Amino acid sequence: MIFLCAIGTLFLLNVATTSTFILNSFPQLRTTTQSQVIAIEGQVEEGEGHHDEEGETHSGEQEHHEESGASCSPLSPDEAQTYSPSNETAVTTPNNLSAASLMKQGSPIIGNPNAPVTLIEFGDFQCEFCARFAKVTEPTINATYIQTGKANMVFKHFVTHGDDSVTAAIASQCANEQGQFWRFYKTAYENQGPENSGWANKENMKKLASQISGLDMQKFDSCIDSNKYKSLVDNDMILGVSLGMKGTPSFIIAKNDGSKPETLLGAQPFPSFQSVIDKKSKE
Amino acid sequence: MVENRDTTTKISFKQSLKQRFRSMLLSIKLVFSHWPYVALAGTIAIIFWIVFNVFDELLFFSPIVVFYLPEDAITGFILSNITTILLGIVVGMNVYVIRHLRSIKINATSFFSGSSIGVLSSTCASCSSLGFLLVSTLGGAGITLSTFLSNYQTPLRIVSIALLLWAYYSISIRLAGNCKVEYGKSNYHP
């Protein structure tokens, strides 16, 4: 009996490593992170007017964040307490997830922006499961729903794998600036190396980008060197946390206006996406 | 003379290997000739199979129950299957030992470390919520830890299989050894 109890304990301990146990052990983490999210989200909404029609982010927005000191610095306990739960819900209103709003934020989109369903991927270029999704499932989704105009797909950065992930995310946005995000997306995942081995550092990102035809490398290099899209990547990360994302890849499938969002966790196969997208189309 | 001694040693080593292999098979027959242990081993193997495949993002329960095996996951899938089978066997044998042969000490260290490493290595730490929380709590150290778990996934799985094999070997040798009659030490005097 003792042995069986020990096995049970071991099993529970192992399962707990996935998240719940640790999260419950450090509830203050969740509170702090969400408070940061709310604070910065408010500023993002204020700063949305700084984006132009092409989805480019003006440096003014970055300055705005830097001035307020809120881009990634933790809030003081006093500041954190000022946010009520009603403010928290304001972060995840459907408007924030509408295709139009996501495009305004500078996020890359593929497919018809007016398609009835929007699939939002929260990914990291260093995550092996994201690479699995990009190689195995995304091509089928693309052929079945995106090319046929039934859905569009938006990419959001959820960088949890270290500094190189941030670099890769910035590089992808620099490619997006020239309308080449989805080529960069494919090339990066096809050439993915071991996590934090240096394959996603600035130099290698430049080499990787040089494989993409149609990219102005001079423009790309200066963009990546200036960390132009750092604040956009930070904001994506914050949005992901506010939406309850805890790993990559994670997906939100919603109506085009951002309503009725449904979360899908992990590099699921095509039938899982099919069931949710078809459901959303009929709703 | 030296050559003769070497030959003798080689033969005895081979014989000893054969004996050990035979006792490993015998111990499996001994334990799994009782159906409750087969059921227990099967249940444990199925539970861990589910855990491994959920962590490997091959098996999903929401929004629909679905299993798939992409090319990049084949090696990991084979290794995790070996681990689950070994876990079932080792747990079944350990329970048998506890119930029937209380005097035998089980090799708990190998079993627990083997199963723990097996489960831990099956998660892409950084992709899962574990990695996210490791990074949020430990910062740079969390990134290092999750990177280690992700990059050394296959070697860690092999280590876990080796540890479970060691646990199986030691328990089966003890089970078989328990049945030996040691004439020299016998207290039987006709």
pLDDT digits (tens, 9 = 90+) for A93-123: 555 788 889 999 999 999 999 999 999 999 9
Average pLDDT, chain A: 75
pLDDT of residue B115: 57
pLDDT digits (tens, 9 = 90+) for B46-105: 998 998 898 889 999 999 999 999 999 999 899 989 989 988 998 888 888 878 776 555
Residue A15 forms part of a structural domain: no
**Whole domain around residue B160: which residue ranges?**
28-170
Number of domains in chain B: 1
Residue A21 forms part of a structural domain: no
Strand blocks (E) in A177-260: 250-255
Residue A114 forms part of a structural domain: yes
Q: In the predicted model, what is the mean pLDDT of residues A239-250?
A: 90
Residue B120 forms part of a structural domain: yes
pLDDT of residue B184: 55
The structure's pTM equals 0.73
pLDDT of residue B144: 79
What secondary structure does DSSP assign to B90-116, as a single string?
HHHHHHHHHHH-TTSPP-HHHHHHHHH
Q: Which residues of B49-87 are buried (b: 16+ CB within 10 A; e: fewer)?
A: bebbbbbbbbbbeebeebebebeebeebeebbebbbbbb
* Beta bridge partners of residue A262, listed in sequence order: A253
In this structure, which amino acid lies at residue B101?
L
Contact state of B133 with A19 under an 8 Å Cβ cutoff: yes
Residue B188 forms part of a structural domain: no
B104 in contact with A at a CB cutoff of 8 Å?
A: no
User: What are the distances in angstroms from CA A190 to CA A126, A135, B76?
Assistant: 11, 8, 20
**Whole domain around residue A97: which residue ranges?**
30-282
Q: Residue A143 — pLDDT band, cuts 50, 70, 90?
A: very high
Residue B76 forms part of a structural domain: yes
Q: Residue B177 — pLDDT band, cuts 50, 70, 90?
A: low
Enumerate residues 40 to 99 of chain B having a beta carbon within 8 A of any beta carbon in chain A. 44, 47, 51, 55, 57, 60, 62-64, 66, 68, 70, 72-73, 91, 94-95, 98
- B19 CA to chain A: closest CA distance, Å? 29
Residue B20 forms part of a structural domain: no
Output the six-digit token pair for A216. 């102005």
Residue A22 forms part of a structural domain: no
* Beta bridge partners of residue A153, listed in sequence order: A110, A119
Q: Is the pLDDT of residue B166 over 90?
A: no
Q: Residue A247 sits in a domain of what CATH number?
A: 3.40.30.10
Average pLDDT, chain B: 77
pLDDT digits (tens, 9 = 90+) for A171-224: 999 999 999 999 999 999 999 999 889 999 999 999 999 999 989 999 999 999
pLDDT above 90 as % of chain A? 57
Report the C-alpha gap between B49 and B187 in whole angstroms: 48
Among candidates B57, B62, B147 on the partner chain, residue whose Cβ is nearest the Cβ of A162: B147
Token pair 């994302």 in the structure block, residue: A245
The answer to whether residues A113 and A100 touch, using CB atoms and an 8 Å cutoff, is yes
CB count within 10 Å of CB A227 equals: 15
- In a mutational test of the B interface, the residue from A9, A11, A14 whose CB has the highest number of chain B CBs within 10 Å is A14
- A247 CA to chain B: closest CA distance, Å? 5
User: What DSSP state is assigned to residue B45?
Assistant: H
Residue B89 forms part of a structural domain: yes
Residue A238, helix vs strand vs coil: helix
Question: What helix, strand, coil percent values describe chain B, rounded to 5?
Answer: 75, 0, 20
User: What DSSP state is assigned to residue A58?
Assistant: P
Report the C-alpha gap between B42 and B137 in whole angstroms: 38
Residue A20 forms part of a structural domain: no
Which residue would you say has higher pLDDT here, A166 or A43?
A166
Among candidates B66, B72, B147 on the partner chain, residue whose Cβ is nearest the Cβ of A272: B66
Residue B50's region, left for phi above 0, alpha for psi from -120 to 50, else beta, is: alpha
Contact state of B68 with A269 under an 8 Å Cβ cutoff: yes
Report the C-alpha gap between A55 and A104 in whole angstroms: 6
Q: What is the dihedral of CA B64, A267, A110, A213, to 10 degrees?
A: -150
Number of domains in chain A: 1
pLDDT of residue A4: 47
Q: Residue A135 — pLDDT band, cuts 50, 70, 90?
A: very high
Residue A12 forms part of a structural domain: no
Q: Residue A88 — pLDDT band, cuts 50, 70, 90?
A: very low
Contact state of A161 with B70 under an 8 Å Cβ cutoff: no
pLDDT of residue B104: 56
Q: Is the pLDDT of residue B178 over 70?
A: no
E strand or H helix at B67, and its extent?
strand B66-67
